[in-house]
Structure 1
Amino acid sequence: MSQNDRTLQSLLATGINGEPVFVFDGTAVSHADFSCKVDQAAAWLAAHGIGRGDVVAVWLVNRIEWIALLFAAARLGAIVAAVNTRYRSAEVAHLLRLSGARLLVTEATFRSIDFAAILADVPKADVPTLQTVAVVGVDTIPTVWPSIRFDAFEKPYPPAPALYGDVDLPVLLYTTSGTTRGPKLVAHSQATLATHAVSVARALALAPERHSLLAMLPFCGTFGMTGLLAFLAAGVTVHVVDAFEAAPAFKILTEQEITHSFGSDEMFRRILALTDAPRPFPHAQVFGFAAFQPGWREFALEAEARGMSLFGLYGSSEVQALFSIGRSDAAFADRIEAGGWPMSPEAEVRVRDTETGALAAPGVSGEIEIGAPSRFLGYFNNAEATSEAILADGFFRTGDIGRLRDDGSFVYETRAGDAMRLGGFLVAPGEIEDELKSCAGVADAQVVAVDLKGQARCVAFVIAGTVPPQQDAMIARLRERLAGYKVPARIYFVDAFPVTDSANGVKIQRAKLRAMAMEQIAGE
């Protein structure tokens, strides 16, 4: 594969003439339209001083501007840092600071999200590299940084050179959880993105005349972006929802005869609940899902009976989403398990026994290690974390526990360590704990995830200082500083945390904390 075949631009080469590449809220965007918008976005970026190696943070819902900016940045050799639309001030500040972004492209408001107000709560001193905030749809917003209108599609700018540069350099930064405060930035290149997109398109045997995609996951994460790029590579029309809501998704699925979609079990559950029809989606072929909620197996069985065939998946920011998938010819119980077969024929999965350090035989659980063309370059500006995650032979230590099957597939079982899956996102406890400890009157804090009314929620245990904190004030502060799914559903005050002594020091007994949380909740 030549260097030109590994650019994002190369993904636009396939498609049926005249067919749309995207449909946003009923508005079709053809290949020619999209290419024009990429040209315009590249010209706009260049006119505002963005060039090779510069970082542009994109904080938008699923809009055509998002994708155009990514392809435009790739043309200029620049880098896009994807900002989660559910982030609040502390998280936005961390990402902007860590990425070194010079420019932020955002919008003023969207539904209940007040982007401008959140940004106003970010101290300028915390983000020393940011120079300009560009806003889609309005001329300006109140901000301590110079604010301009993103008018790339509204007025002409001098054409930008098509540099592309080294396709193995960073072009997109995802966020991922760590064990310390704030997420790390996962760096991907045009080569890792484009080659994986082509692998997924081939593995799913996508064809523009037969298939269509409902893109209902956010572009800011690998789950949403990978599906988008793969179907773009195949020339398949992508119907986009700006942010997930069950009713609009259901309407597109039925009216547009959608064949493929990807999401969480809860998203598909909400869609299916909108109809009593025995088989509401007769054109559905592959609905890939990540299981985040209790009872997902029972739901998958119900969905199967109603013609919604769910396929288990595996992926991460580091190896990209849709890394693997269940097969249609597998037994139902195996098909819906997270894991499956890698999309790329060049990908390798192995399992290492966490006690002996030896590679594990099929059926033996251990840490999943992956070598693949979709693997990330490293953690942006974090060589130490990169060296810990990528082994000498190039395999990535996933931090996930799973096992191999005899047929060449694998099963993801659970996340190693203490990371929590909240709201569909992997969250480090330390991130929430640090915010709790910054609240007045809090001496120490620990958080765990529990099943609360069928949803994974965060519960906090707090040791008070000399002046006890006010719970309402703590919750209010956390809601300002963190995404809603990270805000504890309960806060319990304790005199001390349960601990155990080990050779490496005193360790918090998180299992005991979870049991304490469930006992308290049961008592309520």
Structure 2
Amino acid sequence: MHADEVSLQSLIESESAAEPAFVFDGTPVSRAEFAGKVGQTTAWLAAQGIGRGDVVAVWLVNRVEWIALLLAAARRGAIVAAVNTRYRSAEVEHLLKLSGAKLLMIEAAFRSIDFAAILADIARDEVPALQKLAVVGAATIPAQWPCVHFDAFDKPYPPALSQGEVDLPVLLYTTSGTTKGPKLVAHSQRTLATHARAVAVALRLSPQRHALLAMLPFCGTFGMTSLLGFIAAGATVHVLDAFEAAPALKILGEHKITHSFGSDEMFRRILALTSAPRPFPHVEVCGFAAFQPGWRELAAEAEARGLPLFGLYGSSEVQALFSIARPGDAFADRIEGGGQPMSPDAKVRVRDTETRELAAPGVSGEIEISAPSRFLGYFGNPEATRDAITSDGFFRTGDIGRLRGDGSFVYETRAGDAMRLGGFLVAPGEIEDELKSCDGVADAQVVAVDLKGQARCVAFVIPADAPPQQETLIARLRERLAGYKVPARLYIVDAFPVTDSANGVKIQRAKLRAMAMERIATE
């Protein structure tokens, strides 16, 4: 396929596209307007000295500037590092350091998030590559770095040359790691655009008949992939800056939305706000990821009320919406994670975790994937990339599942110790390292438990000398980490349960989880 056909720019050039391209908070943005904004943003980036290979960290909620920045960076040959707006200082610092970001795009303020206060807790010498901040929504914010105002939409800048190449990194997602902080997953224009087109074709999207409610954050592959798929289809996208159930309910009901994607908890909260028996007559597909207990019961209720939930599968490495259940599947099969790959060129196999041989249909093992949507590698980490990809090009997902025999597969669980908290995959080591950096903590272990129907983490701490104050530790973590990573309980212990194996002494995480549940039950 010609390079022009797999660029991000090509996705917005559909001749049969619906109008408007986007609706942000009730404000429509036409395709011509958006194309103009991308051109203006490209010129603005060039005026800031951003060119081929430079990294721009984008710490914004869902807004038109986010999408314009991604397409403009692609034109300049630059790389966007997506920053979760729920991140706090330790996480932002890690991402800026790992990516080598030269410029940070930042919100002036959003609801209760004080971006300036979070930045104030980051030592400037820890992120030496960062040269300046660009503020969206205000002229400046208090900061240690020079600030400029993002005024690309208001002020003309000299036109800039395109320097993009479709097979170089253009977007970095964060993903869970085994040590402090996540790795950065690199995607190119080709991997993003090719998968976006595959999504549009597999879902049989029609520009005039279909519309998306985008309620997931653009900083993650779940939100970005669904967005790009509908841009590729030329369908209108209604965008929430950040998820809230009430405005989501309003848009679903008033704008003939046919598709939306989100977590089970999002759809649960939307349904809870209306007593109408079938409140969404136009909805055809709601792709969902099951993160909370009781998701099967939710799917059954949603089905009875005309909100069809479809199980799907994805990851930062192979992108979200990698696969989805099909409309003709039996209900019990349709709501399972997994499904049929979107791309006809994708291949899924399962490897027996004990014999290391490929498993037959129906036998559980580690899911391995080869697909056009597969990532380039972990940014700046060739060793981790080599470990993640087989000699014949399949990505080792670290997820357990089984093949069905009809080309589809079922996702069952995560192979490793990563925890699903607040809808995000989190490595225990990230929270443990923060705890171990606190005064009075010799060692720490973190496990996930079901607490009142929600997945929460519980920490076990071995004190260095005098036991640290639990309130102090929790307060410290609240300053340094996103709220969903802060332990719901913190217990002081003398030692962790361990077992000896041929490979050394291992922490018995299953026993820690049992200990956590026992202690919670007695409270």
Where does residue 76 of structure 1 map in the other structure? 76
Where does residue 138 of structure 2 map in the other structure? 138
Question: What are the within-5 Å matches in structure 2 for residues 6-25 of structure 1?
Answer: 6-14=6-14, 16=16, 19-25=19-25
Do the aligned partners of 2:17 and 2:234 also contact (CA within 8 Å) in 1?
no
> Is the alpha carbon distance of 1:508 and 1:113 closer, same or farther for their aligned partners in structure 2, counting shifts above 3 Å?
same
The structural deviation recorded for 1:415 is 0.4
Where does residue 356 of structure 2 map in the other structure? 357
Distance 1:18 1:387 in 2: 43
Distance 1:44 1:408 in 2: 46
Matched, 1:171 2:170: yes
Which amino acid is 1:303 matched to?
A: A
Distance 2:192 2:249 in 1: 29
Residues 90-138 of structure 1 show CA distances to partners (whole Å, capped at 9, x for unaligned) of 0000000000000000112100111111011111011010001010011
Distance 1:355 1:514 in 2: 24
Distance 1:344 1:445 in 2: 43
Do the aligned partners of 1:18 and 1:30 also contact (CA within 8 Å) in 2?
no
The structural deviation recorded for 1:468 is 1.6
The structural deviation recorded for 1:17 is 6.0
Matched, 1:308 2:310: no
Which amino acid is 1:87 matched to?
A: Y
Residues 262-320 of structure 1 show CA distances to partners (whole Å, capped at 9, x for unaligned) of 00000000000000100000101000000000000011001000000000000000000
The structural deviation recorded for 1:14 is 1.6
Which amino acid is 1:516 matched to?
A: M
Question: What are the within-5 Å matches in structure 2 for residues 81-230 of structure 1?
Answer: 81-164=81-164, 166-230=165-229
Residues 381-433 of structure 1 show CA distances to partners (whole Å, capped at 9, x for unaligned) of 00000000011111000000000002110000000110000000000000000
Distance 1:263 1:18 in 2: 24
Distance 1:27 1:322 in 2: 27
Question: Equivalent pairs: percent with the same residue?
Answer: 79
Distance 2:77 2:17 in 1: 29
The structural deviation recorded for 1:142 is 1.1
Do the aligned partners of 1:188 and 1:376 also contact (CA within 8 Å) in 2?
yes
Do the aligned partners of 1:168 and 1:189 also contact (CA within 8 Å) in 2?
yes
The structural deviation recorded for 1:15 is 5.2
Where does residue 246 of structure 2 map in the other structure? 247
Distance 1:406 1:345 in 2: 16
Do the aligned partners of 2:9 and 2:71 also contact (CA within 8 Å) in 1?
yes
Residues 312-339 of structure 1 show CA distances to partners (whole Å, capped at 9, x for unaligned) of 0000000000000001101000000000
The structural deviation recorded for 1:354 is 0.6
Do the aligned partners of 1:215 and 1:262 also contact (CA within 8 Å) in 2?
yes
SS of the residue 1:194 aligns to: helix
Do the aligned partners of 1:15 and 1:236 also contact (CA within 8 Å) in 2?
no
Question: What are the within-5 Å matches in structure 2 for residues 250-261 of structure 1?
Answer: 250-261=249-260
**TM-score under structure 2 normalisation?**
0.99
Where does residue 64 of structure 1 map in the other structure? 64
Unaligned runs of 5+ in 1: none
Do the aligned partners of 1:15 and 1:208 also contact (CA within 8 Å) in 2?
no
Unaligned runs of 5+ in 2: none
- Greater shift, 8-17 or 216-225, is seen at 8-17
Where does residue 29 of structure 1 map in the other structure? 29
Residues 199-250 of structure 1 show CA distances to partners (whole Å, capped at 9, x for unaligned) of 0000000001110000000000000000000000000000000000000000
Where does residue 490 of structure 2 map in the other structure? 491
Aligned length: 523
> Is the alpha carbon distance of 1:17 and 1:292 closer, same or farther for their aligned partners in structure 2, counting shifts above 3 Å?
closer
- Greater shift, 106-115 or 212-221, is seen at 106-115
Where does residue 411 of structure 2 map in the other structure? 412
Where does residue 38 of structure 2 map in the other structure? 38
SS of the residue 1:456 aligns to: strand
Where does residue 449 of structure 2 map in the other structure? 450
Which amino acid is 1:72 matched to?
A: A
Matched, 1:464 2:463: yes
Where does residue 264 of structure 1 map in the other structure? 263
Distance 1:64 1:114 in 2: 21
Distance 2:166 2:141 in 1: 35
Where does residue 433 of structure 1 map in the other structure? 432
Do the aligned partners of 1:3 and 1:167 also contact (CA within 8 Å) in 2?
yes
- Greater shift, 233-242 or 8-17, is seen at 8-17
Distance 1:30 1:163 in 2: 26
> Is the alpha carbon distance of 1:82 and 1:17 closer, same or farther for their aligned partners in structure 2, counting shifts above 3 Å?
closer
The structural deviation recorded for 1:163 is 2.6
* Structure 1: 4+ residue segments shifted above 2 A: 15-18
The structural deviation recorded for 1:467 is 2.2
Q: Root-mean-square deviation (CA), in Å?
A: 0.7
Which amino acid is 1:373 matched to?
A: P
Distance 1:302 1:224 in 2: 25
Distance 1:47 1:406 in 2: 54
Distance 1:112 1:341 in 2: 40
Where does residue 285 of structure 2 map in the other structure? 286
SS of the residue 1:385 aligns to: helix
- Greater shift, 190-199 or 10-19, is seen at 10-19
Do the aligned partners of 2:18 and 2:207 also contact (CA within 8 Å) in 1?
no
Distance 2:199 2:22 in 1: 18
- Greater shift, 477-486 or 18-27, is seen at 18-27
Distance 1:151 1:117 in 2: 23
Which amino acid is 1:220 matched to?
A: C
SS of the residue 1:113 aligns to: coil
SS of the residue 2:368 aligns to: strand
